[in-house]
Amino acid sequence: MRRFKVFLSAILAGISIAIGGIAFLSSESKVIGALFFTVGLFTICSFGFNLFTGKVCYAPENDGRYALDLVFIWLGNLAGAILTSLALRLTRVAPALIERAQALCEAKLSDHLISIFFLAFFCNLLIFIAVDGYKSLDSALGRHLALFFGVTVFILCGFEHCVANMFYFALAGSYTLQTLGYLLVMTCGNALGGIGLFLLKRFCTKKA
């Protein structure tokens, strides 16, 4: 039952990020789209949903059960992203958004894997800043600025977020073995970026 709740919460997180992706694809302005993409992580942090890119940052301070939870969270995020794309395809706004998603995914899948890895690595540096800032800062304004700046900047920089891409690939109809390989590379880059910054923060703030 506990793991089912973990998985269900991850589905809700995948849906939340997908809605952020819809907002991004719906905007003619990249800046505005990046700003409103933040609705996804804002919802997740506010309701405590399970997002892989946020949860993986804290793997070093947890046990093997947490590591197994991360697998269920990744799969739940994927399910939520795909379910959202399937529902969106039944709406009148789908054709324009599918076209934009296809152009976006074509650029991602034509990139080389080293580039993809480092773009994903940089992405989760910002996700850790956003999530950890939201968790730890005392000021309500500071918590929300960390969230909004962290997410908006990674979008504007073109960094790779594996869960957002789960949605874009599904909407574009571009799931293949190559796509799965790219997603796994993005996942590794996200994980190492988030864990690396978490460890550096803990080392630098540890009392002598």
What is the reported pTM? 0.94
pLDDT tens digits, 65-114: 999 999 999 999 999 999 999 999 999 999 999 999 999 999 999 999 99
User: What pLDDT score was predicted for residue 3?
Assistant: 85
**Residue 14 pLDDT more than 80?**
yes
End-to-end CA distance of the chain: 42
pLDDT tens digits, 132-186: 999 988 888 888 899 999 999 999 999 999 999 999 999 999 999 999 999 999 9
Task: Give DSSP secondary structure letters for 108-154.
Answer: HHTS-HHHHHHHHHHHHHHHHHHHHHHHH-S-HHHHHHHHHHHHHHH
Supply the Cα-derived Rg of the chain in whole angstroms.
16
User: What pLDDT score was predicted for residue 50?
Assistant: 97
Q: Homologous superfamily of 2-205 in CATH?
A: Glycerol uptake facilitator protein. (1.20.1080.10)
User: 10 and 77 in contact (C-beta within 8 Å)?
Assistant: yes
What whole-number distance in Å separates Cα of residue 43 and Cα of residue 20? 10
Q: CA separation (Å) from 120 to 64, 65, 185?
A: 24, 25, 8
Domain residue ranges of the chain, discontinuous segments joined by +: 2-205
Lookup result for tokens 């390989």: 181
Beta strands in the chain (DSSP E): none
User: What pLDDT score was predicted for residue 153?
Assistant: 95
Pair of tokens at residue 178: 């190559």
Q: Is 83 left (phi over 0), alpha (psi -120 to 50) or beta?
A: alpha
Q: For residue 143, what are the contacts with CB-CB under 8 A and spacing of at least 6?
A: 133, 134, 135, 137
**Residue 208 pLDDT more than 60?**
no
Residue 91 φ/ψ, nearest 5 degrees: -105, 165
User: What pLDDT score was predicted for residue 206?
Assistant: 76
Averaged pLDDT, 121-130: 96
What whole-number distance in Å separates Cα of residue 107 and Cα of residue 124? 20
pLDDT tens digits, 48-57: 999 999 999 9
User: 153 and 133 in contact (C-beta within 8 Å)?
Assistant: no
